[in-house]
């Protein structure tokens, strides 16, 4: 990576300005535990389990042919928590509503809601049979903009709802459950202590030596619990940077991950960030995924038979800074990486890394030529990582740490490590199917048509949000004229430097701070977009950004 472009990306990473907190869980204690509620008669809705033998037979065919890994199916229900649950008075005047759902032999259960509205002051919790896994509280801050919603998987055959309604609150929650996701394979190891995960034995954890140079990029990669009609499958994808550098939560995966998904299905997709082993070895205790988000909108896609098999999503909420997300960089130039890695969640397992050391080869997946990169994985110091079901949609990075493709499929496995995999080209997805904005990446990742063809990644994290020395710039956004407040500076003189998103200097001037307490400059003659502001003083360098 070029020194200047890396430094420029570092400057951008200091400038996070959004702290939208969108975790679906806000902590707390279920009322039954908090108030020591003893024996309490509440309903348990028992559902009939599906024919798992038939499901596994169908899965065997799909797995062999590189389809996304199905691990669960939906069971239709009609549950209205407020009406179907049992209510009980609590000490202090509040109330609790409780309801359980049970399905024999389930490895885990997922709740899908057609309507989810928690009134202000209310708190919803979910937990498993032994209360070792508790999700909550879900509050009015969790309420989605749309009606559809989903919750994280709950381990085991039984999940229990507990809703707390404080004294004085009259409005009841509208939690209408339309489906229960029944996980029948690949999930049980996520909840057991002291066992390896579901990925095959040759895979390499992201925090092994192979991942040392990719610690930024890993924070943009997430596991996806994909819902498509009545099936749940595992896939992988990544956050993407865009030329406005505005942290829009664009997320790239493969189109074959839920090709028939409806808008309602997308609202119920669950994205798990930082689901990884803290060390190179598999952990001795269960790693519970705690950093999740729910819901997305599909904005663009091409299938694998007519193009590069990409799907671009826009997450329904901004990514919380507490997730320390990295919006990965990319290259649309179509230049093959000479070395690089892929970061992925095989079998929905903890985050892994696989390495290539020979140049990617341009190839064809179906009938359209040169839509994909062919890659062969290399043995490394820890093992010989490949891809598996659940890796679909994962990014492949080049030697400049930029995404150049997204996984469609291939023959590589731990039993055939030298066999190839195929990644849809980012450069093809960029603008090679100009049918509409909905078949290209470019209109979304370069909305101002700047012509940028490659971009580094940027961080949005807690450390950056709290850094001192960020400039007071206003108005921001601006139509042209910009002011910087210098009143708190003690230095006599300073130098103003303004850079565009490519790092090109467009303004430089010296300021006598004894005369001027405000710096004024005009961007009205420049293109719309994000500009980096740097003020150099004897007290140090101060960085800011402004959007025109």
Q: Both tokens of residue 502?
A: 């490519």
C-alpha torsion sign, points 256, 259, 263, 266: negative
Give the whole-angstrom CA distance, residue 480 versus residue 528: 9
Q: How far is CA 145 from CA 20, 83, 149, 316, in A?
A: 14, 23, 10, 8
398 is catalytic: no
Give the whole-angstrom CA distance, residue 176 versus residue 38: 27
Q: Both tokens of residue 412?
A: 């590589």
Give the whole-angstrom CA distance, residue 1 versus residue 89: 62
> 72 with 228: CB under 8 angstroms?
no
> How many other CB atoms sit within 10 Å of the CB of residue 51?
11
Give the whole-angstrom CA distance, residue 400 versus residue 337: 8
309 is catalytic: yes
Q: Which of 102, 137, 256, 372 is catalytic?
A: 256
Give the whole-angstrom CA distance, residue 530 versus residue 539: 26
Half-sphere exposure of 259 (CA within 13 A, CB side): 13
Grouping H, G, I as helix, E, B as strand and the rest as coil, residue 275 is: coil
Give the whole-angstrom CA distance, residue 287 versus residue 190: 7
> 156 with 108: CB under 8 angstroms?
yes
- From the number of C-beta atoms within 10 Å of its C-beta (0-12, 13-18, 19+), residue 20 rates as exposed
392 is catalytic: yes
> How many other CB atoms sit within 10 Å of the CB of residue 497?
15
Enclosing H/E stretch for 13: helix 3-13
Q: Which of 216, 309, 421, 446 is catalytic?
A: 309
Adjacent-strand bridge partners of 181: 74, 110
Q: Which of 392, 421, 427, 446 is catalytic?
A: 392
The catalytic residue positions are: 256, 309, 392
């Amino acid at each position: 990576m070029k020194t200047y472009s890396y430094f420029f990306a570092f400057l951008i990473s200091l400038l996070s300005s959004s702290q939208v907190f969108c975790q679906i869980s806000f902590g707390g204690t279920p009322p039954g535990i908090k108030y020591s509620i003893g024996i309490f008669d509440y309903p348990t809705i028992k559902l009939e389990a599906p024919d798992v033998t038939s499901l596994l037979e169908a899965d065997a065919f799909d797995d062999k042919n590189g389809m996304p890994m199905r691990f669960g199916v939906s069971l239709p229900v009609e549950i209205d928590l407020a009406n179907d649950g049992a209510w009980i008075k609590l000490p202090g005047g509040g109330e609790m509503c409780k309801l359980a759902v049970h399905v024999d032999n389930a490895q885990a259960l997922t709740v899908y809601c057609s309507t989810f509205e928690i009134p202000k002051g209310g708190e919803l919790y979910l937990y498993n049979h032994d209360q070792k896994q508790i999700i909550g509280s879900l509050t009015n801050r969790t309420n989605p903009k749309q009606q559809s919603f989903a919750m994280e998987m709950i381990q085991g055959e039984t999940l229990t709802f507990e809703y707390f309604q404080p004294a004085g609150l009259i409005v009841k929650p509208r939690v209408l459950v339309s489906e229960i996701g029944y996980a029948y394979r690949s999930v049980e190891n996520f909840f057991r202590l002291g066992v390896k995960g579901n990925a095959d034995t040759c895979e390499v954890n992201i925090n092994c030596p192979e991942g040392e140079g990719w610690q930024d990029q890993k924070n943009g990669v997430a596991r996806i619990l994909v819902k498509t009609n009545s099936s749940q499958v595992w896939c992988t994808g990544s956050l993407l940077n865009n030329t406005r550098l505005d942290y829009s939560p664009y997320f790239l995966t493969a189109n074959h991950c839920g090709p028939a998904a409806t808008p309602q299905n997308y609202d119920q997709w669950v994205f798990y960030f930082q689901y990884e082993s803290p060390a190179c070895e598999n952990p001795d205790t269960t790693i519970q995924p705690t950093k999740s988000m729910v819901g997305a909108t599909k904005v663009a896609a091409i299938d694998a038979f007519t193009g590069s098999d990409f799907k671009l999503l826009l997450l329904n909420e901004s990514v919380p800074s507490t997730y320390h997300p990295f919006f990965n960089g990319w290259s649309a130039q179509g230049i093959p990486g000479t070395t690089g890695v892929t970061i992925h969640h095989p079998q929905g397992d903890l985050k892994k890394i696989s390495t290539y050391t020979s140049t990617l080869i341009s190839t064809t997946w179906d009938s359209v030529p040169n839509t994909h990169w062919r890659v062969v994985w290399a043995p490394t110091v820890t093992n010989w990582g490949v891809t598996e079901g659940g890796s679909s949609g994962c990014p492949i990075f080049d030697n400049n740490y930029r995404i150049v493709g997204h996984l469609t499929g291939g023959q590589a496995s731990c039993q055939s490590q030298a066999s190839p995999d195929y990644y849809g080209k980012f450069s093809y997805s960029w603008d090679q199917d100009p049918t509409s904005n909905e078949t290209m990446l470019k209109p979304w990742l370069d909305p101002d048509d700047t012509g940028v063809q490659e971009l580094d990644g940027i961080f949005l994290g807690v450390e950056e949000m709290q850094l001192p020395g960020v400039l007071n710039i206003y108005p921001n956004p601006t139509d042209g004229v910009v002011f910087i407040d210098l009143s708190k500076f003690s230095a006599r003189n300073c130098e103003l430097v303004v850079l565009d998103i490519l790092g090109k200097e467009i303004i430089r001037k010296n300021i006598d701070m004894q005369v001027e307490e405000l710096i004024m400059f005009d961007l009205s003659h420049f293109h719309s977009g994000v500009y980096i502001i740097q003020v150099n003083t004897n007290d140090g360098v101060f960085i800011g950004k402004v959007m025109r």
